[in-house]
Amino acid sequence: MATTRERLLEAGLRLLLEHGYNDLGIQVLLKETGIPKGSFYHHFASKEDFALQVVDRYMEEVHQGLDLSLGDTRLAPLARARRFFELSREKYRRDGYMGCMLGGLGQELSGVNATFAARIEACFGEISGRIASCLEEARHRGEIPQDADPRELANLLLNCWEGAALRSRLLRDPGPLDRMLDFTFSAATRAS
């Protein structure tokens, strides 16, 4: 059985994605979970602390996706990198094409909250770093040009993905995600 803290974090994953930070009141979270206010403050110092811990929980899921895709050595490195984004697209579908929580919170809070800006940028850096390692392998295998900078390419991939995720959220449609993947990965293979 899930602990009170786990129940709050799990509900937070969905509610922060749906409502964002500013529109998610603690009362909504408490009503959703049936947990009393005192229990919330027993586990979290503030709403900000709660949201930052939800981001950490979200990153656990992201790292699971990275492990599953980038660790699948049966696939070529570029196929593994693409597989990560395909797994993310599938999660977005299950969530109703609400996009990436990091992207949503980053857009909402980065200009007004330095703590969130730093945390979300650090999360993107972790994701990009993991993808860059896979792209380094792709470079060594001749899948991408030898003079390519894997870290720069990983950042570009992630930036393009986040833009496509925003458009997908606006349209409630996977089309922008699909087109981004097809364009980016076909361009990468043509360039090598």
Average pLDDT over residues 9-36: 95
Tell me what percent of the chain is helix, strand and coil, each rounded to the nearest 5: 75, 0, 25
Q: What percent of the chain has pLDDT over 90?
A: 94
CA distance 39 to 45: 11
Average pLDDT over residues 11-24: 96
Judge whether residue 66 has pLDDT over 80. yes
Judge whether residue 192 has pLDDT over 90. no
Q: Which of 15, 36, 34 is nearest to 25 (CA)?
A: 15
Q: Which of 104, 83, 113 is nearest to 18 (CA)?
A: 104
Q: Which of 66, 71, 78 is nearest to 188 (CA)?
A: 78
Structure tokens at 172: 């409630």
Each residue of 168-181: pLDDT tens digit?
999 999 999 999 99
Give me the pLDDT at residue 127, please: 98
Each residue of 89-148: pLDDT tens digit?
999 999 999 999 999 999 999 899 999 999 999 999 999 999 999 999 999 999 999 999
Fill in the amino acid letter for 3: T
Q: 4-10: long-range contacts at Cβ-Cβ below 8 A with a sequence spacing of 24 or more? A: 4/35, 4/39, 4/42, 4/43, 5/43, 7/33, 7/35, 8/33, 8/35, 8/40, 8/43, 8/44, 8/50, 9/53, 9/54, 9/57, 10/57
Average pLDDT over residues 158-164: 97
Instruction: State pTM to two decimals.
Output: 0.93
Give me the pLDDT at residue 190, please: 65
